[in-house]
Amino acid sequence: MTLRPSSDGAQAAHPVAHPAVEVEGLHFTYPDGTASLRGMSLSVQPGEKVALVGPNGAGKSTLLLTLNGILRAQRGAVRVFGQTLDDSTVRAIRAQVGLLFSNPDDQLFSPTVFEDVAFGPLHMGLPRDEVLARSREALAAVGMLEFAERPPHRLSLGQKKRVAIATVLSMGTPILALDEPSANLDPMSRRELIALLARLPLTILVATHDLALVADILPRSVLLAEGSVVADAPTMHVLNDSALLGAHGLEPLSAHGHPHA
């Protein structure tokens, strides 16, 4: 695994003193009036692997969408390596934060797998050779190199999911924000995904209901409910607190004994 942040990426450009992601007092309300984030605050250090857990509607996906400026919070601030997200920095921040949508069909829009994976690096204006190298490398990392010339909409869901991850990996972002990466995967694909995430040397935020995945590879857990943080602690503390989990619609791992994928 040689995928790494671009040489001219964030870690070189910004002093290590800054958190990778800093979210401060974020408020977001959808146009129909549904309040999704109500004063969310969170700080993630470079290299940390953090789980965002919580019931549906807790604001996990909304939070991820604000991290690279797809959604803009009405109040509060998002900082990535110390750089505040606004109109002038959003493009630069998208080179720092790679976002994986929960539904891979939302992510893929090109006629072939390879072109989809190459979109990010091409848009960044990288030289052709590097674009090709990165795209191949990313596809190899998710084991989809042999599908490079296929149209994405003909793949199985598990394959689409891996391609979607490759489209983000090829950008070489130092931060990955993943929305439900293991949802709807068969057990084997899910295993492979977990192994891949475990070995990526990046800052990773994962919004998920898959607590077995959380226990496996994400040492820190942030429990969200109704748009704010209700717990932020080492994963084992959060997952062993069955009263806390139960109060927020989650089941302790032992209760179902079997990871729900």
**Residue ranges binding another protein (CB under 8 A):** 6, 8-9, 13, 30-32, 34, 65, 68, 70, 91-95, 98-99, 101, 103, 105-111, 115, 119-120, 122-126, 153, 167-168, 171, 173
Please, what is the minimum distance in Å from the beta carbon of residue 61 to another protein?
12
- Provide, rounded to whole angstroms, the least separation between the CB of residue 57 and another protein: 14
* First-to-final CA distance of the chain: 25
Question: Which regions of 119-246 does DSSP assign to beta strands (E)?
Answer: 175-179, 203-207, 220-225, 228-234
Minimum CB separation of residue 46 from another protein in Å reads 18
Shortest approach of another protein to residue 41 CB, angstroms? 23
- The residues, ordered by sequence, that sit 6+ positions from 108 with a Cβ below 8 Å of its Cβ are 116, 152, 153, 160, 163, 164, 167
For Cα atoms 142, 23, 134, give the angle at the middle one, nearest 5 degrees: 25
Closer residue to another protein (CB): 6 or 189: 6
Nearest alpha carbon to residue 178 among 159, 204, 201, 139: 204
Shortest Å, Cβ 214 to another protein: 24
Residue 174, both tokens: 């130092």
Please, which residue, 67 or 211, has the CB nearer to another protein? 67
Tell me the three state secondary structure of residue 207.
Answer: strand
Closest to another protein by CB, 76 or 151: 151
